[in-house]
Amino acid sequence: MPRSKRRTVADMGPDDDDRHCSKRLRNTTSSRRFSNKTEDTSSFSQKRCLAWFREYTSPDDPDMLGPEGMEKFCEDIGVEPENVVMLVLAWKMSARQMGFFTQQEWLKGLVDLQCDTISKLQSKLDYLRSLLNDQVTFKSIYRYAYDFARDKDQRSMDIETAKAMLQLLLGKHWVLFGQFNNFLEHSKYKVINKDQWCNILEFSRTILSDLSNYDVDGAWPVMLDEFVEWLKVSKVGDTLRS
């Protein structure tokens, strides 16, 4: 079949030229409208937020962001998985299990933060960290961390996980944290229950580093009574050695 002759602009009549210009104008307008739509990310879009979530899930389980996806997500936003800001973000989402975000949890947290892109969430990281400076909010995050981090098959948190979480939350703020961590390493305790967990925070906030305001007859858990005794013995030993 012979190739049809291609028409040039010179071959077109006035009507053809008008139709050509109109078509070109429509295409240009449509292209500009589409371009503006894709470039405008200033306002929050739940659809875009959900599409972002899907970048970290697998086709086999599109509604669950798991450990591999979490690693990529942390890399994309420039935060180590062990960074405390990830705990705050999980708290914002009311995430149930460490290392996992469900679609519902993701939307809950990021709709609240109005974040649907990497850059938007990065701009909120300082805000998320600042929440730890409020005592009431910190207490809520601290209590949340217990159920978030513990093995869901167990009622209590294993001691290694507890030490890691205490380091994350209290390591930089509690003067006696180093001694308490050392006490746990040499103690009989293999798990920490929720009552002990909550009282550790109260102890760190209310008891002076010299233990001068510690009430032996107070309602502290036995674990903390034992810590105080251990600390006193340690200090006596240090004094004798010096």
Residue 11 lies in a domain: no
Query: How many independent structural domains does the chain possess?
Result: 2
What is the average pLDDT across 32-51? 70
Q: What is the CATH number of the domain that holds 234?
A: 1.10.238.200
pTM score of the predicted model:
0.80
Instruction: Say yes or no to pLDDT of 137 above 90.
Output: yes
Residue 111 lies in a domain: yes
> 126 and 161 share a domain?
no
> 146 and 104 share a domain?
no
* Helices 135-149 and 84-93: angle between axes, nearest 10 degrees: 90
Q: Which of 90, 110, 132 is the last residue of a domain?
A: 132
Q: Which of 98, 132, 166 is the last residue of a domain?
A: 132
Residue 116 lies in a domain: yes
What is the average pLDDT across 56-67? 96
CB-based burial, 77-88: b 16+ in 10 Å, e otherwise: bebeeebbbbbb
> 113 and 193 share a domain?
no
CA distance 162 to 167: 8
Q: What is the model's pLDDT at position 28? A: 42
Instruction: Say yes or no to pLDDT of 43 above 90.
Output: yes
Domain housing 235: 134-241
Q: What is the CATH number of the domain that holds 92?
A: 1.10.238.10
